[in-house]
Chains A and B, each alone.
Chain A
Amino acid sequence: MDLYLPVANLSVNALVIVLLGGGVGFLSGMFGVGGGFLTTPLLIFYGIPPTVAAASAATQVTGASVSGVLAHLERDGVDLRMGAVLVAGGLVGSLIGAALFELFTAWGQIDTVISILYVVLLGTVGTFMGREAWLSYRAVQAGLPPPARKRRHHPMVANLPMRWRFYRSGLYISPLAPLLLGAAVGVLTMLLGVGGGFIMVPAMLYLLGMGTQVVVGTSLFQILFVTIATTMVHAMTTGAVDIVLAVLLLLGSVTGAQFGARFAQRARPEYLRLVLAAIVLLVALQMAVGLFIRPGEIYSVQ
């Protein structure tokens, strides 16, 4: 079924986009990630202009994270104070991201910047995640308890001035650390259309040293608000949010996420993390290959 996208200015097969959203939603429900890091590259691969893909993927992540945030709020799994600081940072970050977006577009390098960021971020995160998942998988196979993680924040974080208490996270640290983290992720949300959960969660665990029980909820909380902000910034600057595309993606992803969440309850967490790491590394590899081989189109119009 063909459908014309009024902002992207081309027609797509609506069923393909809904299925794409559904697949990403399934994975995001299963792993508790927004899935933006899959949506944007897949949309670009399908032929959607990169800017429209990033902007509309951000809108989709908003919808995909709503139910997660609500569920975590119910269970008291969100550190609201930490969340507020992260969101404040995220808002600043999305504005910085918008300025960078304009700058790189004017230089004609936005596509390359997006690809390189994907390769570096996903490659690093995927490698770490894969190693950790592999170790705990081996431990489970050998019948040992999974290796215990030491919980400590990074010394650099401890050195920052002005400390606040974050009760739910069990932390007494400077708010500058989460503020900077939020800003960095906000920039990425604007540029890449990713929620940033795949950066945020490890950073919260290993840099800030937050308690595990609030990490996912607080990360989702930040993602929800920052993707809302990003959608607004994109709508008001690049004008690249395609509402039809976003709705198609959402129809697929919100249902897919529910099935994914159900499936995850029956699967072993070590396997899940291993599979997620493999997917993340595959996307990074695909992007890297795209940078090095001769592209299909040498010329592009702007």
Chain B
Amino acid sequence: MRCAAALLLWLAALAPLTAAAQSDDPRLVPDVSSRAIDIQYSFTGEELLLFGAILYPGQRLPDDRADIVVVLKGPVRPIVLREKRRVAGIWVNASSIRLRTSPGFYAIGSSRPIDKLVDERTAAIFELGLANLSMSPSEFSEASKLERFEAGLTDLYRRLGLFYENPAAVEITEGVLYRARIPVPARVPVGTYRAETFLISRGRVLAVASRDVQIRKAGFERFVALAAERHGFLYGLTAVILSLLLGYAAAAIFRRR
């Protein structure tokens, strides 16, 4: 559903290409510094550059300045979020909720704070900002509990670098070129990420454009992760043989000396 909406918006954004004469809406030409991030042996995170141009019809800059919001969103997955509480003196996981569509990564950068750009309703529709992520709790629970849990998750993920919000990340040059750096930490989940750019003026989203970014394990890391996932028996056997060999080798080397 959301995908379809995004597609529609995207088509809407592309429409001026075919019907440039009829439309007054500007168009976005976005790009990312790399279409794929490979997680390799010494991967400690990367910075993704989201950049592009704003094309105004007739190449005339409007009088009031437009703002840009960029969002990099990782694959959504179902999670169980647990909350620790003190029970009989010790801290244990006391309650939990299930969230069906929790993004493993979400970063938002803008040229001004989001609340200055759009009203709450618009922000909610386009899921702009950490507070507006819709995570689809799978059972009904009181709003206060849900809010508390979502705040807890946001706080946790923010400190892990998995959620990121920077209202000054986007730099707009001459009103037409924009760029934003988004830090991607080492512990990001792998999958297909979507980099979305929103052009906003006077509280209205004028154009949306998106690009996919693949984040994947590569080379040896990919091989190991796949083996661990799909061939548990052989993987375990390899681990056992390796540890036996290393243990034996060390003993043999030291005995000779």
- Residue ranges of B at the interface with A (Cβ–Cβ < 8 Å): 39-44, 79-84, 86, 89-93, 96, 102, 149, 152-153, 155-156, 186-187, 189, 217, 220-222, 224-225, 228-229, 232-233, 235-240, 242-244, 246-251, 254
Q: List 23 A-B contacts (CB under 8 A).
A: A1-B42, A4-B43, A11-B187, A59-B239, A62-B247, A63-B246, A63-B247, A66-B247, A111-B93, A112-B91, A231-B243, A235-B239, A237-B232, A243-B239, A246-B243, A247-B246, A250-B246, A254-B246, A254-B250, A299-B82, A299-B156, A300-B93, A301-B153
CA distance A251 to B247 in the complex (A): 9
CA distance A198 to B242 in the complex (A): 25
Q: How far is the CB of A178 from chain B (nearest CB, A)?
A: 24
Please provide the 7 A-B residue pairs with the shortest distance between their CB atoms, ordered closest to farther: A235-B236, A67-B251, A66-B247, A63-B243, A254-B250, A299-B152, A63-B247
CA distance A202 to B29 in the complex (A): 71
Which B residues are in CB contact (< 8 Å) with A232?
A: 233, 236-237, 240
A257 located at the interface, meaning its Cβ lies under 8 Å from any Cβ of chain B in the complex: yes
Instruction: Give the number of A-B contacts (CB < 8 Å).
Output: 168
Which A residues are in CB contact (< 8 Å) with B152?
A: 298-299
Which A residues are in CB contact (< 8 Å) with B248?
A: 66-67, 70
The reply to whether A258 and B254 form a contact with Cβ atoms under 8 Å apart is: yes
Which B residues are in CB contact (< 8 Å) with A247?
A: 242, 246
- Residue ranges of A at the interface with B (Cβ–Cβ < 8 Å): 1-4, 6-7, 9-11, 59-60, 62-67, 70-71, 108-109, 111-112, 116, 228, 231-237, 239, 241-244, 246-247, 250-251, 254-255, 257-258, 291-295, 297-302
Q: Dominant SS at the A interface?
A: helix
Which B residues are in CB contact (< 8 Å) with A108?
A: 80, 82, 93, 96
Which B residues are in CB contact (< 8 Å) with A234?
A: 236
CA distance A258 to B152 in the complex (A): 46
The reply to whether A243 and B238 form a contact with Cβ atoms under 8 Å apart is: yes
Which A residues are in CB contact (< 8 Å) with B240?
A: 59, 62, 228, 231-232
CA distance A188 to B1 in the complex (A): 48
Q: How far is the CB of B247 from chain A (nearest CB, A)?
A: 3
The reply to whether B237 and A66 form a contact with Cβ atoms under 8 Å apart is: no
The reply to whether B81 and A112 form a contact with Cβ atoms under 8 Å apart is: no
The reply to whether B91 and A236 form a contact with Cβ atoms under 8 Å apart is: no
In this complex, which of B40, B221, B251 has the most chain A Cβ atoms within 10 angstroms of its Cβ?
Answer: B251
Give me 17 other A-B pairs in contact (C-beta within 8 A), A66-B247, A232-B237, A246-B239 excluded: A60-B243, A62-B243, A63-B242, A63-B244, A63-B247, A66-B244, A70-B248, A231-B236, A231-B240, A232-B233, A250-B243, A254-B250, A292-B91, A293-B91, A299-B149, A301-B153, A302-B80
Q: How far is the CB of A4 from chain B (nearest CB, A)?
A: 5
Q: How far is the CB of A244 from chain B (nearest CB, A)?
A: 7
List the A residue with the shortest CB-CB distance to B219. A6
Q: How far is the CB of B75 from chain A (nearest CB, A)?
A: 14
Which A residues are in CB contact (< 8 Å) with B237?
A: 232
Give the contacting residue for B39; candidates A4, A235, A242, A297; CB below 8 A.
A4
List the B residue with the shortest CB-CB distance to A67. B251
The reply to whether B250 and A255 form a contact with Cβ atoms under 8 Å apart is: yes
List the A residue with the shortest CB-CB distance to B225. A6
In this complex, which of B92, B96, B250 has the most chain A Cβ atoms within 10 angstroms of its Cβ?
Answer: B250
Which B residues are in CB contact (< 8 Å) with A10?
A: 186-187
The reply to whether A112 and B224 form a contact with Cβ atoms under 8 Å apart is: no
CA distance A236 to B228 in the complex (A): 8
Q: How far is the CB of B102 from chain A (nearest CB, A)?
A: 8
Which B residues are in CB contact (< 8 Å) with A298?
A: 83-84, 152
CA distance A4 to B223 in the complex (A): 13
Which A residues are in CB contact (< 8 Å) with B239?
A: 59, 231, 235, 241, 243, 246
CA distance A114 to B86 in the complex (A): 17
CA distance A232 to B233 in the complex (A): 7
List the B residue with the shortest CB-CB distance to A25. B250
Which A residues are in CB contact (< 8 Å) with B236?
A: 231-236, 241
The reply to whether A11 and B233 form a contact with Cβ atoms under 8 Å apart is: no
Which A residues are in CB contact (< 8 Å) with B84?
A: 295, 297-300
